[in-house]
Every structure is written in structure tokens, then in C-alpha cells.
Amino acid sequence: MKRINKIHLYLSISFCCLLSCRTEKIKNAALEGDFYAKNLIEIRCVLPDQAEDPEYSWYLAASPEGEWEKIQGIWTDEIVLLTSYLDKYLKCEISCRINRDEIITASVISSHPV
């Protein structure tokens, strides 16, 4: 009986490790472009091979730690910086589906304001 319990424990630990040790990540996410009004900024990243349906969401805030306001109507990997974005920080959140049930995300915040 004790041997069966040890086998079950070992299998449970192994299975949990396999789930938590997954390596599917969005890598090297960075904003590219000059942070001046009327310029184009792009998000560049490396998605896992099995990634599907990437989605992009853009946000503005007065500081990197501030409250983020979603920019409506922009779902692409590029954004034109409007004059209304002046003195605000920019954040992009990337999400994609891995398998049917799992969604992974990453976000990038600009190092300085527009």
C-alpha cells in the first residue's frame, strides 16, 4: 500500500512540474520608434511557434506606475503617436493563444513619455 502511494505522489509531482515548467513565452518584447508626436511606434516580439490569434492592446498613463487608460480602436502591432499623447507613457499588452485553453501575455512600457 505504501509503495502505491509513493508512486502516485511521484506521478503527481512529475505532472505538476511538467505543467509549471512550460517554456511557451512571448520573448524579446520591445517598443521601436521615436517617441515624438506623429511618429509610428511598433511592438516587436518573438511569439512561440504554436501561438495563435495575437492581440495587441495599447494604453496611456501619466507615469509608468500610474493608472493606465486604454486607447480605444487600436488592435494592431503599430500605433501613430497623436499630439494628445504628449507627456504620457505608452504601454502595449500582447496576448496570444497557446493550445485551446491557454493564453499567454506580455507587456512593455515605454522608458520615457511621448
Select the more confidently predicted residue: 114 or 13: 114
What would the grid cell of residue 106 be?
506580455
Q: Which long-range contacts (CB under 8 A, 24 or more apart) does 48-52 make?
A: 48/24, 48/96, 48/98, 48/104, 50/24, 50/98, 50/99, 51/24, 51/26, 51/96, 51/97, 51/98, 51/104, 52/96, 52/97, 52/98
Does 7 map to a domain?
no
- Which of helix, strand or coil describes residue 104? strand
Does 55 map to a domain?
yes
Task: Print the domain residue range for 76.
Answer: 24-109
Residue range 98-110, pLDDT digits in tens? 887 898 999 999 9
pLDDT at 35: 94
Does 76 map to a domain?
yes
Instruction: Report the distance separating Cα 46 and Cα 71, nearest Å.
Output: 23
Residue 57 sits in a domain whose CATH number is 2.60.40.2700
- Contact between residue 62 and residue 89 where contact means Cβ atoms under 8 Å apart: yes
Residue range 58-113, pLDDT digits in tens? 999 999 999 999 999 999 999 999 999 999 999 999 999 888 789 899 999 999 99
- Tell me the C-alpha to C-alpha distance, in Å, between residue 49 and each of 31, 56, 60, 75, 99: 21, 18, 30, 21, 11
Number of domains in the chain: 1
Does 65 map to a domain?
yes
Does 15 map to a domain?
no
Does 92 map to a domain?
yes
